[in-house]
Amino acid sequence: MSKSRSTVTISLHWHGDPESQIYSMPAWLFKTLVVGSIVFVALVALAAVLYTPIARTAARVPGLNGEIARLTEENNQVQQLAATLKELEARYDQIRTVLGAEIIAEPLTTVVERVDGLPTLPALVAKEPDAEPLYGRRGPSLPLYWPVDSVVHGMVTRGFSVAGEGLRPHPGIDVAVPRGTPIRAAGGGTVAEAGFHPEYGLFVLVDHPDGYRTMYGHASRLLVLPGGRVDAGQVIALSGSTGRSTAPHLHFEKRRGDILIDPQSTIRED
């Protein structure tokens, strides 16, 4: 006696049709169709879930490419600016070398003459009794004189500038001179401060009449103390390269009250 196979009968009755349509199929085929449909729907849903992040990432690719191009261009500009700055620094060092900024002069060789190999002091020249002193009268006076000797003078390697002039603000001037050059007070007054500052190195700050102040920075040695009185032309320090400095020079500032003044606009260079 053979075992009967189970079947699944599906009856479809369409609206308005008096007759029904009956479909029969083996049970295993029905189950296969049901399972296949479920698997197909699951695969479609999984594909949609996986495709959505990919689609979003693909949509962002054009924007990311544009951002990469912009960053690449900015990086090239930065490299060009760095190369230009390096070239300018090299030229700046060459100028200082030509001026002797890297040479440490021996004290005797700058102030003496040699006769038959022996050091000899230069001849003294006396001024006429009625001649006006080089730096005027002694005591407090306005800062009107160049801070280094006329025989040295030095070269201004960086000028005065304030905010809004298109340049990086610089409250004074930088004068390239050999290390050990005497720094003279631009006018008579009182030493307000003398010491060390991280930016200016060894410095001297002098108070003058009418609210004027002068500052001398990057010295190698200080020759005055706070509270001491100085006359115009008096040596108050020796030039150097202390503090934030790349080569020996004098940083010279002048102000009246809270107003910064370009030293070159009022200094007498005689």
Annotated domain spans of the chain = 7-84, 138-265
CA-to-CA distance for 262 and 170, rounded, in angstroms? 10
Task: Say what the pLDDT of residue 182 is.
Answer: 93
Closest CA to 195 of 170, 172, 217, 173: 217
| Assigned token pair, 8 | 């699944």
* Residue 120 pLDDT: 53
Joined together, the tokens standing for residue 85 give 């700055």
Q: Give CA–CA dist 6/129, Å, rounded.
A: 143
Superfamily of domain covering 138-265: Glucose Permease (Domain IIA) (2.70.70.10)
Contacts of 38 (CB under 8 A, 6+ apart): none
Q: What is the pLDDT of residue 45?
A: 85
Torsions phi, psi of 54, nearest 5? Answer: -65, -40
Q: Is 121 helix (H, G, I), strand (E, B) or coil?
A: coil
pTM (two decimals):
0.52
- How far does the chain reach from its first CA to its final CA, in angstroms? 138
CA distance 252 to 177: 12
If you average pLDDT over every residue of the chain, what do you get? Answer: 79
Which run of H or E residues covers position 86? helix 27-98
The CA-based angle 60-62-67, given to 5 degrees, is 95
CA 265 – CA 187 distance, rounded (Å)? 15
Residue 203: per-residue pLDDT? 96
Q: How many CB atoms are closer than 10 A to CB 101?
A: 23
Residue 132: the pLDDT is 61
Regions of the chain short of the pLDDT cut 50: 1-2, 100-113
